[in-house]
Structure 1
Amino acid sequence: MTATPLHPPSSMPPAHRRSLVAAIASMGFVNLTMGITFPLTAIILARQGVSPAMIGLNTAAQALPVFFVTPLVPRAIARLGPANLMIVAILTAALALLLMALYPNLHAWFPLRFLLGVGGTILWGSSEAWINALAPDERRGRIVGIYGAAAATGFALGPATLAVMGTDVTPLFFASAMLVLAAFLTATADRKTNLFAGEATGSAMWRLLLIAPAALLVNFFFAASEEALVTFFPLYSMKLGMGEDAAVSLLTISAIGAIFVQPLVGMIADKVNAYAFMTLLVILSIAGYAALPFFLPGFIATAIAVFVVVGFANGLFTLGMVVVGQTFSGRELAGASAFTTAMWGTGALCGAPFSGWLMQLWDPHGLVLAVCLIYLIYLPFPLVAWLRGSARRPLKKT
């Protein structure tokens, strides 16, 4: 497999710079709409008397497309170009949200959330491949860190939007409009140049997995832990004596940690061995989550701990994307980015049930045990890659 730099290492063409700004900004808006949709749909359905189990199934409908759509993304990127494909996906998601606002009921939302998930799966896979292809090697970590911070900011602003606009269907109309704006932003990018055009058929995804398992699997473990924490951490905090409002606000504080830490992680990743750094962050995440019970129920101490620990954990997403960009290019980069998107969706589906089961076995500390076990299972992947890799950082295959 060959992998050549897409532009000189010391410069970035203006068209690439414009495309990077458009891609990162538009994905910030996309994540804002997702930050609105997930809590709002649960609230609306619960208000209609829908059971929690059925609400969970409705949410799963949005995650299901990752298994069907992901294999098609690399070929679609090569055929249409990432910018044009993103515009199609954004408008698809905007239409789904508009129809959800017009038909706010459980039965209509199953196919519409599936359609929304189709758009989201294409967006995350294509945007990460595009950003990685545009980023110069020596600034890849910094750029990916900014992308991660923009995505986290958008997602964190979703609940704040609901606090301002209320929890009727109005925020769904707003979210649809934001996606139309994101499509306009993406349209300002360089759509004539397709960095993935003319590529030979890429390697099968399992072959890509053999090349960089630590980078391609990190999203599964990170998403599993994040989904577990988002679902159960407020409940866990309340069981240890924290008030409800304070417990819920810890999620916002954790999101702020992700916003601030990811760019810092990216800048460090440009200077060190990314696998070594990834190993360190996994160890710090395990230690940090294991220590959380000792900070609770004190709000200030827990808030500081959550800010730092969740920031470290989100740095793993940044590092995974950096290593994918360092290791692959062209069609393989598109395939690897699509694979990491699939791993995210799979991890998100597994995290909450696994942690809920352990909480039943060991109430309430099963949550902390679940998250620590998730990262312990992942730890050998970056550790082995570091020990087998270069002294500085992973290099592209030549």
Structure 2
Amino acid sequence: MIGLIVNPIAGMGGKVALKGTDGVVEEAIKRGARPVAPDTVRLFLRELKAHPECNKLKFLTGPGPLGEDYLREFGFRFKVIPHREIRYKMVGDVEIPDTSSEDTKRLAREMLGKVELILFAGGDGTARDVMSAVGKSVPILGIPTGVKMYSGVFAVSPEKAAEVLVKFLRGEARLEEREVRDIDEDAFRRDEIRARTHGSALVPVVENLVQGSKEAIRANEAEELEALTEAVAEEILESDGIYFLGSGSTLKRIKDKLGIDGTLLGVDIVEVRNGTAKLLVKDATEEDLLRFLDGNPRVVVTVVGGLNFLFGRGNQQFSANVLRKISKENILVVATPDKLTGPIRVYTGDREVDEKLRGYIRVRVSPWMEKLVKVV
């Protein structure tokens, strides 16, 4: 028996530059957000359906949008845990389930002693809820649906979560203790990082299929990072045009050197003319980026340390719709060598766009050097 818990509102804040969904679902919808978790869970189940092991599987899950709806849609065998009735509410013109973290915790507790593994669809907040309910009593694995996902308990994509589950059932996954990390989303939206480790959980790990934890910059990187960002900023100022500058401390250093009041944790749209940078849109949404695509923009991004993600973690403004219209040659990746601990990952949810970005990409690693790094 395998447990499945779905947080149906996870990830709604990503494309609309809210950097999370906790406590801001209404605001996300006002900005144009729509639920993303249902389709993510469907990607997972569609991939799982292709494996013969699925014929023997039985799930223990929550009612309706907490898991039952998706398992029923794909014809999986399942049992629903007795739970409160999940009602729906209208926010603007969008109908969403009226759920909370307490639903996740209660379902997780009900699964103790009854399942071999708990799968959950959500982000770091959902991971924290599951871990708080079960500790290390049962392995857990995240189907990545949130915005940040700094914890080391997530598969690298919904499809890879299906592969991990299959290998777990075959006895081919090793169990490891992995950190569950979360941040203060209110502070995050103010460009302040207040992250902490809340504990650890047992996770089935398969190399290259489960991500690590987000890492902070080490002190010995500071000097080379300063030189690298100085060189990149100078080169940007020498080439007129529209730039989409991504999130993170590396990009914030570049923004500061360009002389603009850019965000630390968001995406900014900048125009460079005659050696001067002008901030056009601060903390841009997916919709903002789409409006500037006709200007043949260049994208400058970094790699999320530890997670090895270029697109798909914390910068969902760079959606498939945006990246579909940007050539790979117009993407500049900036990262110190210490961040390049393996292949770079991209995940937009669109296989055609992901495939376009795969292969090899040039990464600027010093003022005078680039490195070819594989994108998977």
Could you say which structure has the greater relative contact order, defined with CA pairs below 8 angstroms and 6 or more residues apart? 1
TM-score, structure 1 normalization: 0.25
Structure with more of its chain in helix, by fraction: 1
TM-score, structure 2 normalization: 0.26
